[in-house]
Chains A and B, each alone.
Chain A
Amino acid sequence: AAGVIQSPRHLIKEKRETATLKCYPIPRHDTVYWYQQGPGQDPQFLISFYEKMQSDKGSIPDRFSAQQFSDYHSELNMSSLELGDSALYFCASSSPDTLFYEQYFGPGTRLTVT
Chain B
Amino acid sequence: SQQGEEDPQALSIQEGENATMNCSYKTSINNLQWYRQNSGRGLVHLILIRSNEREKHSGRLRVTLDTSKKSSSLLITASRAADTASYFCATDAEIQGAQKLVFGQGTRLTINP
**A interface residues with partner B (beta carbon < 8 Å):** 33, 35, 42-45, 56, 58-59, 90, 92, 99-103, 105
Contact = CB atoms under 8 A, between A and B. Distances in A.
B101 interface: yes
A101 B102 CA distance: 23
A92 B101 contact: no
Interface of B: 31, 33, 36, 42-46, 48, 58-61, 82, 90, 92, 99, 101-103
B48 A45 contact: yes
Nearest to A36: B101
A107 to B, nearest CB: 11
Contacts of B44: 92, 100, 102-103, 105
Contacts, number: 46
B45 A35 contact: yes
A42 B45 contact: no
A45 B92 CA distance: 9
Contacts of A45: 33, 45, 48, 92, 101
Nearest to A35: B45
Contacts of A43: 42-43, 101
A100 B36 contact: yes
A100 B46 contact: yes
A100 B61 CA distance: 7
